[in-house]
Amino acid sequence: MLQCYFIRPTTIDRIRASWIGEPIEQYVTWLNKGDYAARNVFRRVPILVRFGEFAKSRGAIDWSELPDHVEPFVNYWLDERGKRNVGEQERRTAAAAIRNPIQQMLQLVLPGHTYNGRSQNLPEPFPENAPDFFAFLRRERGLRESTVVQYQHHLRLLESYLRKTEICALSDLSPGLISAFITEFGQQGNNKRSVQSLCSILKVFLRYLFRTELLERDLSRQIESPRNYRLANLPRSVSWDEVRQMLEAVDRRTPIGKRDYAILLLLVTYGLRAREVAALTLDNIDWKRDRLHVPERKAGHSTVYPLSPVVGEAILDYLQHGRPKTEARALFFRAFAPYTPVAWFVISHRAKHYLRKAGVKVLRPGSHTLRHTCVQHLLDAHVSLKTIGDYVGHRTPDATNIYAKVNIEALREVALGDGEEVL
């Protein structure tokens, strides 16, 4: 399969001469079967060859030893290319581009090796000091896996902070140290809600340490979360003209544009969450009755909407001219190989991309911006809060009340004029 991509025989011989030449060739065959673009092969194969040389120089003699050398190689590669002093986000992105092809290759040649590129595969924090904490969260507290991942993320930050301050034992934790960690987290640009989430997780963790006698006193009592007053935040909605600008920014001639246009219409027309759009399947669209079925919503129920002609036409255009050929029943797929269903965070990122492309300025742009816009549009049409809540799937009336506190259009008139007519 290498000869399908590389013209020079010397290049093919050099790849096959590597002690991991066979796994590399298996990986190239897998890329070819998955319809990956040739540029992916040209970019990834040199990385794999260098990885083999790096692992061998560190004493690896068997393929089963390769996983132990992945992270050291990633750090070596980034440092060699001057990525040591770049921003944290840029370094993580570059690291993923190096790590992912190696892990994909290892999945092919090592039975039982698993990796999906997400943070769930990172080791759990405090494995020696509090090894049963996450089992406690799953078994005793009954938390969903997505919530457990949040705990893991925030406690990794704590673990990293303790390592930086040269604190080795959890028994050395103190109120001052915890307070300094929370303060540093807030100074890194995290909003008040994120700080609240961190404080809640720390309270649960510290309370567990105290109950299991890993701490002599309950430090959770010393944590005071920042106050977040009810209805203190403004809705993140944009005007209907700005929605049109966003939709006009989509290039509907391409498969990606056809997909994204249908996604954006679903978000703003029905106020769907990103997870709800990602979970849609072909079976959720009843073309005979012009209905859209949204199952398993956050509130624990399902909703059936009339299928808007505009939304239906956009979905049909994507199905006929943009969706990859697959037997899977998911509605929206990646536009490039591997052709897997789009994840919820991809939908949020695409909404953010088009809002910025259209020049729409809004706090924290994303899929929820369009959900807020849908609700605000219904409110401006004098639809009752109860009906709005049922329409967008709110669990409680309080979730809808935030939109009733501000008359957006009236405030715009005040800002543009003297406001006498509004008063």
Residues 33 and 96 reside in one and the same domain: yes
Q: Is the pLDDT of residue 13 over 80?
A: yes
* pLDDT (0 to 100) of residue 409: 59
Residues 87 and 206 reside in one and the same domain: no
Residues 299 and 191 reside in one and the same domain: no
Residue 232 lies in a domain: no
Q: Is the pLDDT of residue 86 over 70?
A: no
Q: Are the C-beta atoms of 134 and 125 separated by less than 8 Å?
A: no
Let me know if 203 is a catalytic residue: no
Q: Distance (Å, rounded) from C-alpha 304 to C-alpha 285? A: 10
Residue 123 lies in a domain: no
* pLDDT (0 to 100) of residue 422: 46
Q: What is the pLDDT of residues 283-336, one digit of tens each?
A: 999 999 999 999 878 767 789 999 999 999 999 999 999 999 989 999 999 988
Residue 276 lies in a domain: yes
Residues 268 and 335 reside in one and the same domain: yes
Final residue belonging to a domain, choices 222, 248, 276: 222
Q: Is the pLDDT of residue 398 over 50?
A: yes
Residues 273 and 384 reside in one and the same domain: yes
- Strands of 285-286's sheet, edge to edge? 285-286, 291-294, 303-306
Q: Please give the mean pLDDT across all residues of the chain.
A: 87
Residue 308 belongs to a domain with what CATH number? 1.10.443.10
Residues 215 and 72 reside in one and the same domain: no
Residue 216 belongs to a domain with what CATH number? 1.10.150
Q: What is the DSSP string of 294-357?
A: E-S-TTS--EEEE--HHHHHHHHHHHHHTS---S--BS-B-SSSS--BPPHHHHHHHHHHHHHH
Q: What is the pLDDT of residues 353-377, one digit of tens each?
A: 999 999 999 888 999 999 999 988 8
**Catalytic residue chosen out of the listed positions 259, 371, 372, 377:** 371
* pLDDT (0 to 100) of residue 358: 95
Residue 422 lies in a domain: no
Q: Which helix (H) or strand (E) holds 292?
A: strand 291-294
Of 81-85, 162-166, 376-380, the range with the lowest mean pLDDT is 81-85
Q: Which residue has the higher pLDDT, 62 or 395?
A: 62
**Catalytic residue chosen out of the listed positions 350, 368, 372, 377:** 368
Q: Is the pLDDT of residue 416 over 50?
A: yes
* pLDDT (0 to 100) of residue 394: 81
Let me know if 321 is a catalytic residue: no
Of 23-37, 52-66, 111-125, the range with the lowest mean pLDDT is 111-125
Assign 400 a pLDDT band (cuts: 50, 70, 90). confident
Q: How do the residues of the chain divide into helix, strand and coil, expressed in percent and rounded to 5?
A: 60, 5, 35
Tell how strand 291-294 and strand 303-306 pair up: antiparallel
Does pTM top 0.75 for this prediction? no
Residues 280 and 158 reside in one and the same domain: no
Let me know if 273 is a catalytic residue: yes
Let me know if 151 is a catalytic residue: no
Domains contained in the chain, number: 3
**Catalytic residue chosen out of the listed positions 58, 138, 163, 298:** 298
* pLDDT (0 to 100) of residue 233: 61
Give the residue numbers spanning the domain of 163: 133-222
Of 57-61, 73-77, 169-173, the range with the lowest mean pLDDT is 169-173
Let me know if 371 is a catalytic residue: yes
Q: What is the pLDDT of residues 238-285, one digit of tens each?
A: 899 999 999 999 999 999 999 999 999 999 999 999 999 999 999 999
Residues 403 and 278 reside in one and the same domain: yes
Mean pLDDT value of segment 117-136 = 76
